[in-house]
């Protein structure tokens, strides 16, 4: 929020550092405390105690609701309590309040203070509170405070606390910079390049694999029953309300469609004239005129260009629409020429020039008949958008009277979609996938949070473009499947595992030979493999021939040694690291300075996080689990 008292602090490095710790990553502190041991109830109206400071239920509830509202504005969609808790927003807000309490107590123990003059200047200098003339506006100041739930006293107190927290961060971190050794390590990690020799072992290299016996398959199944477990499947009805579902292009009259076409045809359906322009530039108009006389006498345009040391590829400026030509003189002359005609000397921005247009594509407007369907759909959709709110309210009235979605769909002439059976990833029992749902992942998650017969609230579609209602009609619980039921699935998986095991054993043998000093070409030839090379391979490179897991292993292997990793599909890749190179670390370049600064910031963040964690331990932090759930609406255990 604008009025959280950190605007000015966020303009400096240490201020940003403080904001980082308070608002982004301080969930880290919960890991330090130990979640299992910390939650102990003690106060009915307190969520947490930090040393001598208590964090009240209303304080947490207000901060949490503000964060949910801010996230909703950022995402441009409603964030439900379940979604907020899924991403850990409730824990992050509590962690922030705990951290603020730690810093506030630290400031009191150190007897730090901020003068009234400092706070006054901070407010007066804040551009948020200035009027159109750039002057501090008391009226705007008071209006913004009221709209954000602050009184003047509470806002000043928050500003004072923020400045003190920033001062503590400055004392802890100071002018920390990344040591040179750390910079050099980071430079190596970012810029090291490796050269490797490698070969692919396809699935066929595993040799002939005999068909498994019934006993082998049963043993394989018994050892991996959970991987063959049937997930929970659900069937649901969906009713989507959007401009597209309401639109009726047939209701748009011919006159309306043609009128719209006339309004937008130039901008939407027209393609402007383009010309391919050639140019020869001369030091003076006189020389340009003399060259044109030679062309009129029979010398070619290309010959004149060659005499001016202009290569054939440099003769053509390009193909342009009229507005795309930068030089007005060239633009006017070129678009007045006939195709193939050489212009009179043109006083261009870069000297006198002769122009020639080699190709002209006339302006074209797509005819109405070609775009009529598009125009009708656009008009119908635009009109339907204005009806969404009204139709939504009418459907909600029908839902309130317990009317089934199927009946509502028929009444409003909207399509009812039956989804499923699907699992939570939209996979069907036959292995296929359900087409994308209106509302995407949010709709799928909502279906699997609901139950049969539940009157669910409508979900908003992205960008506030409509709504989707859903009713779960059937639930098949997750269950163990018997051997006979999944027998057809067992053998392919068994065979894939056998291939992988054989290839892994084969590459271990080849790696051992390479590490003993045998030449890669000889080892590959014995195995019937094709040798390949990769030069200049970077740690973060993503190449179709070398998957990321192979690149990671390459950079974990000593130069001169070999290794093997799974490749694409069922193949394995055998490799040997031939060389590793790192360019010198030149500290005076802009790139190095930026890197050192970013690395220093990271070090500072770590130091400040460790300081706060130590202070938490010193002061003691306890959390009331019941009050925490009450404040954030969490589920009871």
Tell me the CATH number at 356: 3.10.50.40
Whether 35 shows a pLDDT value over 80: the answer reads no
Query: Are residues 403 and 447 located together in one domain of the fold?
Result: yes
Please check whether residue 262 lies inside any domain of the structure. Answer: no
Please check whether residue 267 lies inside any domain of the structure. Answer: no
Which residues touch 156 (CB under 8 Å, ≥6 apart)? Answer: 119, 123
pLDDT tens-digit series, residues 199-239: 998 888 888 888 888 898 899 888 888 888 888 899 999 98
Query: Are residues 469 and 494 located together in one domain of the fold?
Result: no
Please check whether residue 132 lies inside any domain of the structure. Answer: yes
Whether 532 shows a pLDDT value over 80: the answer reads yes
Please check whether residue 406 lies inside any domain of the structure. Answer: yes
Please check whether residue 537 lies inside any domain of the structure. Answer: yes
What's the confidence (pLDDT) of residue 42? 46
Query: Are residues 293 and 403 located together in one domain of the fold?
Result: no
Which CA distances in Å does 580 have to 535, 538, 559, 560?
10, 10, 7, 10
pLDDT tens-digit series, residues 115-136: 888 888 888 888 888 877 778 8
**Which pairs count as long-range contacts for 441-444, CB under 8 Å and 24+ apart, including other chains?**
442/77, 442/83, 443/238, 443/468, 443/470
Query: Are residues 422 and 528 located together in one domain of the fold?
Result: no
What's the confidence (pLDDT) of residue 38? 39
CA distance linking residue 557 with residue 579, whole number of Å: 11
What is the domain-level CATH number for residue 31? 1.10.4030.10
At which of 476, 506, 526 does a domain end? 476
Calculate ∠ Cα 287-290-294, nearest 5°.
135
What's the confidence (pLDDT) of residue 68? 81
What's the confidence (pLDDT) of residue 30? 39
Query: Are residues 243 and 386 located together in one domain of the fold?
Result: yes
What's the confidence (pLDDT) of residue 593? 78
Q: Do the Cβ atoms of 235 and 466 come closer than 8 Å?
A: no
pLDDT tens-digit series, residues 543-569: 777 888 888 898 899 999 999 988 887
Query: Are residues 37 and 151 located together in one domain of the fold?
Result: yes
At which of 476, 508, 531 does a domain end? 476
Sole residue written with tokens 């383009």: 274
Query: Are residues 284 and 303 located together in one domain of the fold?
Result: yes
At which of 424, 450, 476 does a domain end? 476
- What is the number of domains present in the chain? 4
Query: Are residues 61 and 153 located together in one domain of the fold?
Result: yes
pLDDT tens-digit series, residues 386-405: 777 888 888 888 888 888 88
Mean pLDDT taken over the chain: 81
Query: Are residues 535 and 605 located together in one domain of the fold?
Result: no
Q: Please, which pLDDT band fits residue 24 given cuts at 50, 70 and 90?
A: very low
Supply the range of the domain harboring residue 144.
9-175+601-632
Please check whether residue 396 lies inside any domain of the structure. Answer: yes
Query: Are residues 243 and 207 located together in one domain of the fold?
Result: no
Whether 11 shows a pLDDT value over 50: the answer reads no
Please check whether residue 560 lies inside any domain of the structure. Answer: yes
Sole residue written with tokens 């005609």: 341
In terms of pLDDT, which residue wins out, 529 or 33? 529
What's the confidence (pLDDT) of residue 634? 59
What's the confidence (pLDDT) of residue 463? 64
Query: Are residues 436 and 559 located together in one domain of the fold?
Result: no
Q: Please, which pLDDT band fits residue 43 given cuts at 50, 70 and 90?
A: low
Please check whether residue 133 lies inside any domain of the structure. Answer: yes
Percent helix, percent strand, percent coil in the chain, to nearest 5? 55, 20, 30
CA distance linking residue 574 with residue 520, whole number of Å: 10
Query: Are residues 330 and 452 located together in one domain of the fold?
Result: no
């Amino acid at each position: 929020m604008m009025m959280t008292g950190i605007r000015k602090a966020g303009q400096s490095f240490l201020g940003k550092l403080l904001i980082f710790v308070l608002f982004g990553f301080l969930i880290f502190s919960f890991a330090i405390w130990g979640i299992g041991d910390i939650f102990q109830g003690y106060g009915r109206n307190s969520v947490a105690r930090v040393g001598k400071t208590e964090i009240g239920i209303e304080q947490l509830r207000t901060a949490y609701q503000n964060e949910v509202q801010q996230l909703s504005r950022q995402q441009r969609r409603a964030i439900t309590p379940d979604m907020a808790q899924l991403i850990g927003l409730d824990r992050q807000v509590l962690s922030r309040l705990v951290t603020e309490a730690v810093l506030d107590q630290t400031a009191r123990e150190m007897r730090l203070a901020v003068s009234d003059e400092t706070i006054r200047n901070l407010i007066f200098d804040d551009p948020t509170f200035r009027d159109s003339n750039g002057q501090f506006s008391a009226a705007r100041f008071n209006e913004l405070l009221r709209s954000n739930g602050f009184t003047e006293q509470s806002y000043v107190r928050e500003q004072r606390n923020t400045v003190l927290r920033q001062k503590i961060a400055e004392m802890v971190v100071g002018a920390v910079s990344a040591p040179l050794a750390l910079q050099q390590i980071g430079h190596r990690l970012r810029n090291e390049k490796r050269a490797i020799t490698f070969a692919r072992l396809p699935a066929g290299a595993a040799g002939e694999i005999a068909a498994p016996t019934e006993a082998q398959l049963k043993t394989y199944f018994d050892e991996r029953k959970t991987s063959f477990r049937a997930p929970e499947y659900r069937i649901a009805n969906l009713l989507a309300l959007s401009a597209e579902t309401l639109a009726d292009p047939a209701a748009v009259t011919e006159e309306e469609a043609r009128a719209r076409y006339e309004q937008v045809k130039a901008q939407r359906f027209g393609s402007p004239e383009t010309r391919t322009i050639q140019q020869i530039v001369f030091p003076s108009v006189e020389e340009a005129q003399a060259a044109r006389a030679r062309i009129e006498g029979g010398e070619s345009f290309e010959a004149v260009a060659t005499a001016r040391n202009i290569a054939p590829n440099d003769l053509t400026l390009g193909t342009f629409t009229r507005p795309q030509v930068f030089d007005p003189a060239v633009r006017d002359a070129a678009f007045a020429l006939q195709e193939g005609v050489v212009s009179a000397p043109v006083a261009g921005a870069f000297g006198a020039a002769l122009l020639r247009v080699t190709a002209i594509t006339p302006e074209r407007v797509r005819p109405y008949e070609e775009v009529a369907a598009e125009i009708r759909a656009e008009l119908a959709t635009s009109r339907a958008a204005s009806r969404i709110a009204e139709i939504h309210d009418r459907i909600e009235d029908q839902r309130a009277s317990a009317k089934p979605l199927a009946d509502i769909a028929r009444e409003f002439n909207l399509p009812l979609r039956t989804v499923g059976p699907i699992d939570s990833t939209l996979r069907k029992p036959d292995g296929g996938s359900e087409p994308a749902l209106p509302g995407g992942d949010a709709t799928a998650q909502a279906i699997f949070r609901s139950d049969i017969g539940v009157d669910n609230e409508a979900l908003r579609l992205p960008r506030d473009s409509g709504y989707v209602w859903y009713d779960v009609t059937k639930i098949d619980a997750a269950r163990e499947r018997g051997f006979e039921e999944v027998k057809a699935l067992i053998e392919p998986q068994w065979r894939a595992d056998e291939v992988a095991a054989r290839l892994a054993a084969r590459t271990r043998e080849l790696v051992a030979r390479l590490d003993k000093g045998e030449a890669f070409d000889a080892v590959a030839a014995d195995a019937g493999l094709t040798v390949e090379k990769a030069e200049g391979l970077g740690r973060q490179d993503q190449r179709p021939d070398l998957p990321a897991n192979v690149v990671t292993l390459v950079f974990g292997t000593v130069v001169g040694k070999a290794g093997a990793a799974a490749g694409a599909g069922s193949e394995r890749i055998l490799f040997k690291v031939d060389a590793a190179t790192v360019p010198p670390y030149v500290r005076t370049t802009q790139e190095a300075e930026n890197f050192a600064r970013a690395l220093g910031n990271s070090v500072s963040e770590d130091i400040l996080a460790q300081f706060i964690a130590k202070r938490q331990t010193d002061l003691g932090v306890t959390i009331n689990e019941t009050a925490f759930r009450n404040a954030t609406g969490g589920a009871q255990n």
